[in-house]
Chain A
Amino acid sequence: MSLSQRHLALILIAPGLMLVAALFLYPLCFSLISAFSGPDGSFTLQWFAKAFELYSTDIVFTVVIVLASCALTALAAIVIAGTLTLGENPYIVGTLKALYRWPLFIPFIVAAQCMRTFLAKNGLMNNTFVSLGLMEPLQAVSFLDWRGIIATFVWKQTPFVALLLAGALASIDRATLEAGRNLGASRMRVLIELALPQVMPTLLVALVLSFVTMLSVLSVPMMVSGSQPTMLTVDMAFRINAYGDYATANALGVITYLISAGAAILYLKRGMSQEAPR
């Protein structure tokens, strides 16, 4: 490739590169630097000390919430994708196929609002139970705490994971599933022992993406559970809005990066151990 062509190539990708630099790299570097800079511009870890002092419970809370949501999302997605692939009742499969993708098109903030009206003490769910005579009005409790956050995350992310998983399941050789049933495996065993291992990489990718998405959502913890403990995104918004404390907020941001990097490393490690010859 001659020099002029190289220049041409650079010019062609320049707008995209500049956009990434201006909207992503610059803010990232800025927040990283500010997380480690004291008021006088020198290197310091004081913002991290402050973040851990004030929010260590929330860090653990965030990780637990997101991990629990991922686990439940995986379970729900496996049930849905498994039913779509191995289900034999055409009515159940057809209904599920038509319905399961809907939450994909609903924004987190709308989902959170729906959950508020559904899970509140006098919400739709409790009112339904009361009107069905399943419980007394006095027994009604609000689910608008960690349970509400998990419920919203799982409801919102399950279709995404199920979509990728069902696609992957549909593309494996169907005869490999039939071979299992032919040898005497029930549909459940076929799903768990024969189908899922073949689509594990897809499931992991979908879960890592969901993990990172859930980690970064502000609206859901803010709306569903206003009280303590809460998730790091709420803490960051609070530091900035209430105190104009960008430094601590940036330190919390770096901690969030590290958590999502942890998920990415776990995924990459697994991928590499599978590639390696045994």
Chain B
Amino acid sequence: MPTDLPNGPRSGASIAVRDLHVAYGGTRVLHGVSIDFTPGSFTALLGSSGCGKTTLLRSLSGFVPVQSGSIVVGGQDVASLPPEKRGMAMVFQSYALWPHMTVLQNIGYGLKLRGVSRAEIATKVSAMLAMLGLSGYEDRKVTALSGGQRQRVALGRALAIDPGILLLDEPLSNLDAKIRMVMRHEIRAIQQRLGLTAVHVTHDREEAMTMADRLVIMQAGTIAQVGTPEEVYDRPATAFVANFMGAENVLPLRVARSEAGASFSTGDATALVSSEAAQALPAGEAVAYFRDDVARLDAADAVAGGDLLVPGRIAARAYPGGVYRYRVEAAGRQITVDDADRHELGTTIGLRIPLQRLHIFPASEAGIAA
């Protein structure tokens, strides 16, 4: 096997974004974003449509003009440089392969631009194809490839120029589910092997969690939270993040502090927490977020123990497989709960929620998501 392809970990470049403002026409899209990407890290930009995640990626790559702020790559501010001078390789959602070129010409184009000889291009491309599992595909037309193969070629084209930074713009969203799973692992493995700094834009939560070692949750042109997948999932910083990360059930709460700790009440249910745990809680009106799978259905008159036991009534039931999914009316809200047992509609039950699994925010802050 040719040895031209760098196998050992190379150092990816660092990116420091400071106070970045971007607008399209008169519409402001990014409102002063500041974030660092350390060399060799894999960061996923996650958020709903229109949150500015793609704009942030495109301003890194130079396709969106920056209003103010800086993008420092390896000590140099590239914010005013055109895309071709930035040395970042990008993989596009539509693959963006050139249909009039073969696989060899597509992957070798960046090398051709850098004045690499034909023989050397052929060697490098063949090594790249071997790494991507596409050996012998050099002379195929890209229009004759499947979606997964096209995305591999697009990845190879980006990697062929030995970039320090790899930008991924929803690269997997056009692939079918099975190939998407495979490509997640392949992209992650290649990124780690080459030590690249990768920035991945996606709206797929699971994709972001499984591929990245750091998530950046964006909301309306600002960064809502930065952290490891565990941090963002288990300790969301805001109501928006909690909701976005899948805690879609919402319960209004009243938190009353006392000497012994604090008590929550929602509807007819009350629970007490120790003063230690109460430190982090807001006082007064609050909103609790929790996932479908953390609550259980129990008898209406069961002992609450350390949990919050909210009386409710089963309004609907579905069987998505494995567990039953119930819609429960409790505390004036519709709550979705997964439970292993089958219960009849209309049954009065107690909704048991472990207190430590609730994400509690002041009601004033939760206005958007609740």
Interface, chain A (partner B; CB < 8 A): 173, 175-176, 178-186, 189, 193-194, 197-198, 200, 278
CA distance A197 to B99 in the complex (A): 9
Residue among B83, B98, B114 making CB contact with A182, cutoff 8 Å = B83
- Provide the residues of chain B in CB contact with A176, threshold 8 Å: 96-99
Known: A173-B94, A175-B93. A182 touches B100 (CB 8 A): no
- Provide the residues of chain B in CB contact with A197, threshold 8 Å: 98, 100
Q: Is B82 an interface residue (CB 8 A)?
A: yes
Q: Are B141 and A179 in contact (CB under 8 A)?
A: no
Q: Are B141 and A278 in contact (CB under 8 A)?
A: yes
- The secondary-structure label for the interface of chain A is helix
CA distance A185 to B85 in the complex (A): 9
- Provide the residues of chain B in CB contact with A200, threshold 8 Å: 100
Interface size, chain B (Cβ < 8 Å): 28
CA distance A200 to B98 in the complex (A): 13
Q: Are B96 and A184 in contact (CB under 8 A)?
A: no
Q: Are B92 and A175 in contact (CB under 8 A)?
A: yes
Q: Is B121 an interface residue (CB 8 A)?
A: no
A-B contact pairs, 27 of them (CB 8 A): A173-B94, A173-B96, A175-B96, A176-B97, A176-B98, A176-B99, A178-B61, A178-B83, A179-B92, A179-B98, A179-B157, A180-B98, A180-B109, A181-B82, A181-B83, A182-B90, A183-B84, A183-B110, A183-B113, A183-B158, A184-B85, A184-B87, A184-B114, A186-B84, A194-B98, A197-B98, A197-B100
Other A-B pairs, 4, CB within 8 Å; known A173-B96, A183-B109: A173-B94, A179-B98, A182-B62, A182-B158
Residue among A175, A178, A184 making CB contact with B161, cutoff 8 Å = A184
CB distance from B139 to the nearest CB of A (A): 8
CB distance from B107 to the nearest CB of A (A): 10
Q: Is B63 an interface residue (CB 8 A)?
A: yes
Q: Is B15 an interface residue (CB 8 A)?
A: no
Q: Is B17 an interface residue (CB 8 A)?
A: no
Q: Are A182 and B89 in contact (CB under 8 A)?
A: yes
Q: Is B297 an interface residue (CB 8 A)?
A: no
Q: Are B100 and A198 in contact (CB under 8 A)?
A: yes
Q: In the complex, which residue of chain A has the Cβ closest to the Cβ of B141?
A: A278
